[in-house]
A and B are shown apart, each in its own frame.
Chain A
Amino acid sequence: MADALLTLRAVTLGFAGNTVLQSVNFDVAAGSISSLIGPNGAGKTSLFNCITGFYKPQQGRIDFAGTPLVPLKPFQVTRTGIARTFQNLRLFRQMSVLENVMSGQHCRTKAGAIGAILHLPSQQREEREIRDRAAACLRLVGIAEEEWQREATTLAYGHQRRVEIARALATEPKLLLLDEPAAGLTKGEKQELIALIARIRDERKIAVLLIEHDTGLVMTISERVSVLDHGLMIAEGTPKEIQSNPRVIEAYLGAEDAEAALAL
């Protein structure tokens, strides 16, 4: 893909003798909505972890808008413009919804100890900006203002997932990585999620990459789908292409069932 926002080339990752990712090539275009799917244990979250700097691949390159990501620490990766949510929801405990989202603004601001102690006008102005931007993110994901002072982990599950997205948005990313954002959501909430992802892309011009198991959601919203199986990228294409790809079906169902499914 020419001029892709994020490119992975020959990324290989192993732990203690297990190969988790094998020579993976992968692209994400700016402003696109793509999905990464595959059976459990395929290595999808590990791929996210490589992109965001939590795992270091043994081989390969990862480039984002011209910057090589592999040598960077996770906080540096976020500063280049990639933000993520977590499979198991990792909101900051004992802190409010608003404080959680404000954390995303840390890397975009700079007031330090001196500014804080002396209450400089520049620091006060920055504090207001942090709160305003966090508030804007919360409004974008649809969390009512009454909820903002509540302890984040006391919210309803679906709302917590949205707060985590708002938090990631507060880092002002160009690429948003969502790790199973629909897990545990009701049907109605999934519809809202689809609308939210579209809104994020349209209003903020952010590219979105999802890991998801809900194939219906994936096929509805994605422009491109990539399929990972046992660390190998086995297929890439539009949702339609992927749905009829025999290798993909085989990966999900196993060889015999795949034959039966294709014969239908």
Chain B
Amino acid sequence: MALEPGSPGPQSVVARPSAWGGLTAILDTPAKRSTAIVVLLAVMIAIPLLPLASTPYVTTILINALLYTILALGLNIVVGYAGLLDLGYAAFFAVGAYTVGILTTTFGWTFWEAIPVAVLAAMLAGLIIGGPTLRLRSDYLAIVTLGFGEIVRITARNLQITGAASGIFGIEQPWLFGWHIHTQTDFYYVFLGLVIVGILVSARLASSRLGRAWLYVRHDEDAAEAMGINRTRVKLAAYVIGAIYGAIGGAFFAVNFTAISPQSFSFQQSTLFLMAVILGGMGKIPGVILGAFIVVLGPELLRDLGSFRYLVFAVGLLLIMLFRPSGIWPVRSR
């Protein structure tokens, strides 16, 4: 093996991101690739037109699926990339929603003025909670995040400024350059836009220095630290970025429904977000989207089963962990 120090930099060297779940590996023949492009084009044309072809009820479900996609993408950064089990993600969702709710109804701010504050509030919460606790071992961290989620929910339920148990209602829907965003179709396009941005941001992060650092810390914390990586700061970055996704989702959720109450921010909600991340395929963007749609559409399709459907989900999660821990999305083999 010839060793030539100082030889020119390699052009062929690529550190492939794992975020796309091996899509490029699955689409390895020209035939498959053309089919994929056609399907993608069809989907891209169909998606914006969907609301026109559906009833308001269906559009609402689609909006819900898109909302869950945003939140699942955010939680995916925390759980799927950085490997931190967060059982209280609904807390950031709540911070975003309540900040917007309080600032617009009690203080008369506009939505666009309120949303940066909501994001900052969530980031601050992430720093305060994450700072001292992210260095704990994973079991303890899981319970701490759960506790934090409960603290936020109970506080929202008890304080007057958050509307106590009945929550906040009459939240004004925003205007954007003369466009009043108030119909379900309007919100569909807004959430679709957010999802697209969310996907791009997630993909860029995954293939970056920070994204790699998350994987190093996740696979072997001590070895990562030995390589000079500040594990706490890396984990904190994931946690805070996840918080930002949560807050944005919460803010738009608040104006979509114009009313929020503590029930939407419970531990059950946090577990639904977690299921969305895991069921489809943790760590991989297409898997996370799939998972979010399963979690939202599943109960709709299984509506006849009543409360039995949540049992179906729970059993599904257990089976996936036991037999296919990488999720439904196919794993690429190198």
Q: Which residues of A contact B (CB under 8 A)?
A: 52, 54, 73-75, 78-79, 83-84, 86, 90-96, 98-99, 102-104, 106-109, 111-113, 115-117, 119, 123, 126-128, 130-132, 135-136, 139-140, 142-145, 148-151, 154, 167-168, 170-171, 199, 203
Counting from the closest, the 5 A-B pairs by CB-CB distance are A107-B228, A116-B208, A78-B228, A132-B9, A90-B223
A123 vs B210: C-alpha distance in the bound complex, in angstroms? Answer: 11
**Are A74 and B215 also in contact (CB < 8 A) when A98-B13, A106-B209, A149-B16 are?**
no
Interface string of B225-240 (1 = CB under 8 A from A): 1111111000001000
Asked whether B213 lies within 8 Å of A106 as measured between CB atoms, the reply is: yes
**Are A144 and B1 also in contact (CB < 8 A) when A90-B220, A106-B228, A112-B210 are?**
yes
How many chain B residues have a CB neighbour from A under 8 Å? Answer: 39
* Residue from the set A74, A135, A140 with the largest chain B CB neighbour count within 10 Å: A74
Extra contacts besides A90-B223, A116-B211 (20): CB < 8 Å: A78-B228, A83-B227, A84-B226, A92-B219, A92-B223, A95-B215, A106-B209, A106-B228, A106-B229, A111-B208, A111-B210, A116-B207, A123-B209, A131-B14, A136-B5, A140-B3, A142-B1, A145-B13, A148-B13, A167-B227
Asked whether B219 lies within 8 Å of A126 as measured between CB atoms, the reply is: no
A171 vs B225: C-alpha distance in the bound complex, in angstroms? Answer: 12
Asked whether A116 lies within 8 Å of B204 as measured between CB atoms, the reply is: yes
B228 interface neighbour in A104, A136, A139, Cβ under 8 Å:
A104
Distance in Å from the Cβ of B159 to the closest Cβ of chain A? Answer: 32
**Are A99 and B231 also in contact (CB < 8 A) when A74-B226, A123-B208 are?**
no
B314 within 8 A of A: no
Distance in Å from the Cβ of B294 to the closest Cβ of chain A? Answer: 25
**Are A135 and B13 also in contact (CB < 8 A) when A92-B219, A103-B229 are?**
yes
Asked whether B334 lies within 8 Å of A151 as measured between CB atoms, the reply is: yes
Closest to B1 in A: A142
Asked whether A149 lies within 8 Å of B334 as measured between CB atoms, the reply is: yes
Closest to A106 in B: B229
B10 within 8 A of A: yes
A83 vs B229: C-alpha distance in the bound complex, in angstroms? Answer: 12
Q: Which residues 287-306 of B have a CB within 8 angstroms of A?
A: none
A–B pairs, 19, beta carbons within 8 Å: A73-B225, A74-B222, A86-B223, A95-B219, A98-B13, A106-B212, A106-B228, A106-B229, A107-B228, A111-B210, A113-B208, A115-B208, A116-B208, A117-B204, A131-B15, A135-B13, A140-B3, A149-B16, A151-B334
For residue A123, which residues in chain B have a CB less than 8 angstroms away from its CB?
208-209
Asked whether A106 lies within 8 Å of B9 as measured between CB atoms, the reply is: no
Closest to B200 in A: A117
For residue B14, which residues in chain A have a CB less than 8 angstroms away from its CB?
131, 149
**Are A113 and B237 also in contact (CB < 8 A) when A75-B228, A107-B227 are?**
yes
Asked whether B227 lies within 8 Å of A104 as measured between CB atoms, the reply is: yes
Interface string of B2-26 (1 = CB under 8 A from A): 0111010110111110000000000
**Are A119 and B204 also in contact (CB < 8 A) when A74-B225, A92-B219, A107-B229 are?**
yes
Distance in Å from the Cβ of A207 to the closest Cβ of chain B? Answer: 18
Asked whether A117 lies within 8 Å of B1 as measured between CB atoms, the reply is: no
For residue A111, which residues in chain B have a CB less than 8 angstroms away from its CB?
208-210
A53 vs B224: C-alpha distance in the bound complex, in angstroms? Answer: 13
Distance in Å from the Cβ of A80 to the closest Cβ of chain B? Answer: 10
Q: Which residues 230-283 of B have a CB within 8 angstroms of A?
A: 230-231, 237, 241
For residue B12, which residues in chain A have a CB less than 8 angstroms away from its CB?
145
For residue B318, which residues in chain A have a CB less than 8 angstroms away from its CB?
none
A135 interface neighbour in B9, B215, B224, Cβ under 8 Å:
B9
A187 vs B223: C-alpha distance in the bound complex, in angstroms? Answer: 28
Asked whether B225 lies within 8 Å of A139 as measured between CB atoms, the reply is: no
Asked whether B4 lies within 8 Å of A139 as measured between CB atoms, the reply is: yes
Closest to B237 in A: A113
A95 vs B1: C-alpha distance in the bound complex, in angstroms? Answer: 24
A193 vs B174: C-alpha distance in the bound complex, in angstroms? Answer: 67
Asked whether A106 lies within 8 Å of B204 as measured between CB atoms, the reply is: no
For residue B220, which residues in chain A have a CB less than 8 angstroms away from its CB?
90, 92-93
A112 vs B211: C-alpha distance in the bound complex, in angstroms? Answer: 10
For residue B208, which residues in chain A have a CB less than 8 angstroms away from its CB?
111, 113, 115-116, 123, 127
Closest to A81 in B: B228
Distance in Å from the Cβ of A143 to the closest Cβ of chain B? Answer: 8
